[in-house]
Amino acid sequence: MAKYGNNARAIERLVRDAEVHRDVYVDQEIFELEMEHLFPNSWIYVGHASQLSKPGDFITANIGRQPVMASRHTDGSIHVFYNRCPHKGVKIASEPCGNTGKFFRCPYHAWSFKTDGSLLAIPLKKGYEGTGFTDTQANEGLSKVKNVVIYRDFIFARLSDSGVSFEDYFGESLSTIDNMVDRSPEGKLAIEAAPIRYMHTCNWKMLVENQTDTCHPMVAHESSAGTAVKVWKREQGDSTETPMAVQLYGPFMSPYEFYEQSGIRIWPNGHGHTGVANSIHSNYSDIDGYLGQMVAAYGEKRAHEILGEVRHNTVYFPNIMVKGAVQIVRNFIPIAVDKTLVESWVYRLVGAPDKLYERALMYNRFINAPTSIVGHDDLEMYERAQEGLKSNGNQWVNLRRLYESNEEQDVTAVINGTSERQMRNQFHAWAKFMTMDMDKHVEAAE
C-alpha cells in the first residue's frame, strides 16, 4: 500500500502553488513519514531552561515519535538525550519533569548515568569483563541528541545529523522570541507551572495553519467573543472601565479591515507572524508600574520599541506558536494523523508586576483550555474539517487568497493581513523538510 514512502516526487505533488491535497491531513502513511522525516529534519522546541533551574532537574518531551529528555548537569550545562536505557530500552524518566538527584537510574536493572547522560555504573560490572562491552554503543550511556541550541533559554533540537543549521533555519524569525524575553525588565522568562493541556481530534497542521488565519475569528468566534462583547454592552451600566476579561475577548471580533491592515510577515522555512502594524493585543490597559520598570531597565526609547512590538501569533515551523505580547507558547504535539495534544505554556516575565502574569494566565484559560469557549469554537471547526476532508467531492484544500502567480519561496515579506500566503509558506517548507533526506530520483509509482 506504500504510496509515498521514500517517494519524494509523490510527496511534492501534494503541494501545489496555492492548493494542498487532503492526504497531508488524513493519510496515515503521510503522518508516519512526517514522524520519520519532517520532525527529525526540523528544529523542534524541547523546553525552557527555567524548567531546569537546578542540577539534576529534567524534563521529558517527544520529537515526532522519539522520546527525549533534557537535563541540567552538575556543571550547569544542559544536555538533551534519547529517553531510553542503552541496556533494554526502558524509558529512564516517565514524568513530565522532576529532579533526579546526582544521577539517573534505570528502574529495571539499575544501570545508572550521570546527568550529562554518560554511563556511571552497572551492577555486577564483572560480568561484562572480556565481553567486548566497552566497544558497544551502550558503554557510551544515554544516546545524545547532538544538535542542540539554547537560544535565550529556549531549548531547540534537531535529531537528524545533517540539515539546515539553527541560524539558517530560524534567521530573523527569532526576533519574536527576542521581543518576548525583552519584555522582562530583567531580560528573563520563567516557567512556573504546568501547561494547560487540550486534546484535539484533528491533524496537527490544522492548528498551525489557524494561527495565521485572520478570516475566521469574526465568523467562528461570534459565539464566544461576540457574545462576551454583547453581554458586556448590556450589563456594563455606568461602568467606564472595561474588565480585563472583556479586553481579552473583544478584539477577536475586529472586522476584516483591522486584520488586513495589521499585516502578516513571512520568513524562510515556513515561519511567519500576524500582527505587524498592530494586533489584537495592542489596546490592553497599562499595568501600573510596568512601563517605569522597563524605562529604568532599557531607557525611554528602547522600552517603547519593545512594548510597541505587539505581534499576534508567530508560527515557528513546524509546530509551535509564540505569542510574545501575552507570553504564551503553544506546542502542537502530533499524536496520530487525527489526534493532536496541545500544550499551552505561560511564561512569567521575571521582575515584572504580577498583574502581567495574571493577564497571561487569564488569556490562556480563556482561549487555550478545554474549558475555553473560544477553544470550543476552533476545535469544532478542526473536527468538522477532519471529517469533511474524507469527502471525495474535492480532494484539494484551497489556499489561493491573495495569491500572486510570481510568488517567491523562502523569502521575507510583509503582506496583507488576510492573505493565506503564510499557509502557502508553511506548505512549501513542509514539502522541503519532508523530502530533504529522500532520494529525489525515484519516480512516482502509481
Q: Which residues bind other proteins (CB under 8 A)?
A: 193-201, 220, 222-224, 226-228, 230-232, 235, 243, 245, 341-342, 346, 354, 357-358, 361, 364-365, 369-371, 373, 375-377, 379-381, 384
105 vs 339, beta carbon nearer other proteins: 339
Contact 164, 306 (CB under 8 A): no
Contact 229, 386 (CB under 8 A): no
In the complex, the smallest distance separating the C-beta of residue 433 from other proteins, rounded to whole angstroms, is 26
25 vs 345, beta carbon nearer other proteins: 345
Kind and range of the H or E run holding 349? strand 339-349
In the complex, the smallest distance separating the C-beta of residue 198 from other proteins, rounded to whole angstroms, is 6
In the complex, the smallest distance separating the C-beta of residue 419 from other proteins, rounded to whole angstroms, is 25
183 vs 359, beta carbon nearer other proteins: 359
**Residue 13, all three cell numbers:** 505533488
In the complex, the smallest distance separating the C-beta of residue 220 from other proteins, rounded to whole angstroms, is 7
HEC sequence for 238-298: CCCCCCHHHHHHHHHHCCHHHHHHHCEEECHHHCEEECCCCCCCCCCCCCCCHHHHHHHHH
What's the start-to-end Cα distance of the chain, in Å? 11
245 vs 350, beta carbon nearer other proteins: 245
**Residue 411, all three cell numbers:** 523569502
User: Which residues make Cβ contacts (< 8 Å) with residue 122, sequence separation at least 6?
Assistant: 109, 111, 112, 128
7 vs 364, beta carbon nearer other proteins: 364
- Whose cell is 475555553? That residue is 372
In the complex, the smallest distance separating the C-beta of residue 332 from other proteins, rounded to whole angstroms, is 12
> For residue 239, with 0-12 CB atoms within 10 Å meaning exposed, 13-18 middle and 19 or more buried, which class applies?
exposed
- Whose cell is 545524545? That residue is 144
Q: Where are the beta strands (DSSP E) in 126-165?
A: 147-151, 154-158
CA pair distance 326, 372, nearest whole angstrom: 17
Contact 316, 248 (CB under 8 A): no
In the complex, the smallest distance separating the C-beta of residue 153 from other proteins, rounded to whole angstroms, is 20
CA pair distance 215, 48, nearest whole angstrom: 32
226 vs 272, beta carbon nearer other proteins: 226
Long-range contact pairs involving 298-301 (C-beta distance under 8 Å, separation at least 24): 298/182, 298/185
18 vs 191, beta carbon nearer other proteins: 191
In the complex, the smallest distance separating the C-beta of residue 61 from other proteins, rounded to whole angstroms, is 15
232 vs 298, beta carbon nearer other proteins: 232
300 vs 380, beta carbon nearer other proteins: 380
In the complex, the smallest distance separating the C-beta of residue 300 from other proteins, rounded to whole angstroms, is 30
In the complex, the smallest distance separating the C-beta of residue 361 from other proteins, rounded to whole angstroms, is 5
214 vs 368, beta carbon nearer other proteins: 368
CA pair distance 30, 34, nearest whole angstrom: 6
Kind and range of the H or E run holding 197? strand 196-200
In the complex, the smallest distance separating the C-beta of residue 354 from other proteins, rounded to whole angstroms, is 6
